[in-house]
Structure 1
């Protein structure tokens, strides 16, 4: 006879918290095991007072939240669940969820057992009860790797190579959390589609260098181009690169501008071939895969 170990728990695969340097904001990244359940949470959680932005990207659900506590004003079918508090410490981030009925189950058991959760406390949930759950996560920082020009006219595809490398170097200290193909202006030197790639990692502070070293080694081993560019951004918000990125998506950019921009924005040019132009332009589009493929945006 078939049985279910826990019929009312659909456990999230991973949950991570990437905090701003000031600790006033955080990106909460939830990797769902059930898209439908994640979409329901997205609808209700996005109405919460602490949530600045909420969106999905494949199996990942992303919430930009303010640090603090809030009264959710839970109401059946209208605001059935949400994020009640976000406390950012020096090394950890504590998130408290609350929900009515089935929303309480998702707010407690389903998240408390997720990968990379350090500790948790949950109340009884389900039925007509309000359930609350608190999870404690390592405080992480954002690493975005931009790559371009790894292929040739006869072989290779940058987006697929970069994804495979990112998946290979994924580890508890630096989790691979997003991938974006970024449409650039079709310059004459392009191989075919003129697309660069950005991959995002949620990393423990000071623990990303071994991952980045492995990433570079694999990239140099498998690229088929002599002009590969690899750029590394460390920080919470790469918006200073948006103007440069927009230029790359609407006109031809000289290589010298890419080098100058990398220095001005403190982005590390790990591999500085001609592909650095597109690698740098890809970085601001981390986690926005549906937008990055549209020309000129």
Structure 2
């Protein structure tokens, strides 16, 4: 089950850039596939939804496709042109997640050789693929947890932009241990203290060991921030639902530091840098991987 680089030399194989698996420990797994061919990823999205009972939801983000699946195994009824490929199983172990894909024809190539070449695949087991064959492939990935980092108030009226600084820090820290998988700008209610647009930022990582990432992120943020009011918060959880009510409030009206501090404690959010920016940083968390929604201002609750 060693990786065979010779696969990449076959012109009908287009390797995925990377695939990560985030397990919630309660029966759900987010499979985040980073594709080198967006057309192929969109084909897979359509067919996988038709063929795979395990899939709970699918969404696209940048050049990635996210599948939320139930743990377990389900036989696929593959139908050419309609449901030609899918996710057959997701098995979560102590340190790994095993995902089995199956497909017909070109869908079988994607289910086997294309995904087996993704960067963080530990090992794989695949059948022959292509032509009219039904093919199956299992890849083994590191088991990861979700880490959300919210930041606000890093710039001044003269210089800087929080969203770009945070993206650059996250990009610099991307590694096999901590994969940087999403970034969103979160529009907040425009308060008098704002620099210009009153926007905070959330970045999402899929981690094997979160501790080094959080430490390094804090160090870089303290080094490069231009503001004395910077706030950084961290949530290590599959969902951020506990912060949604607070986030809606911060998008619709002015929120005090005390309210933010109380909300963070109640939701189990770690305040890493306790500046005034935690007001917006905390509000950014539930908008991870929702960049088209997060930029909208909600004034319904004024």
Name the TM-score, length of structure 1 as normaliser: 0.96
Structure 1 gaps, min length 5: none
Which residue matches 2:259?
Answer: 257
Task: Give the alignment of 1:167-246 within 5 angstroms.
Answer: 167-204=171-208, 207-246=209-248
**1:107 — aligned with what?**
111
For 1:286, the equivalent position in structure 2 comes to: 288
Out of 79, 91, 113, the residue aligned to residue 87 of structure 1 is 91
Once residues 217 and 69 of structure 1 are traced to their aligned partners in structure 2, the CA distance between those partners, rounded to angstroms, is: 43
Deviation at 1:71, TM superposition (A): 2.2
Which of 11, 16, 23 is the equivalent residue of 1:12?
A: 16
Shift of 1:54: 0.4
State the 1:287 CA deviation. Answer: 1.1
Q: How many Å separate the matches in 1 of 2:294 and 2:43? A: 25
Task: Give the alignment of 1:67-146 within 5 angstroms.
Answer: 67-146=71-150
* Aligned residue pairs, count: 291
Q: Which residue of structure 2 lines up, in the alignment, with residue 152 of structure 1?
A: 156
Tell me the alpha carbon deviations over residues 59-113 of structure 1, each in whole angstroms, 9 at most, x when there is no partner.
1111110011112211111111110111111111110001110000001000011
Report the counterpart of residue 27 of structure 1 in structure 2: 30
Residue 232 of structure 1 and its aligned partner are, at CA, apart by 0.4
SS at match of 1:160: helix
Counterpart CA distance in 1 for 2:25 and 2:263 is 22
Task: Pick which of 45-54 and 163-172 moved more.
Answer: 45-54
Question: How far does the alpha carbon of each residue in 1:116-173 deviate from its partner, in whole angstroms, 9 at most, with x for none?
Answer: 1111011111111111110011111000000001111111000000000001111111
Q: Secondary structure at the match of 1:287?
A: coil
Q: Deviation of residue 210 (structure 1)?
A: 1.5
Structural RMSD (CA): 1.1
Shift of 1:46: 2.3
Distance 1:214 1:84 in 2: 38
SS of 1:108's partner is: helix
Give structure 1 regions of 4+ aligned residues with deviation exceeding 3 angstroms.
Answer: none
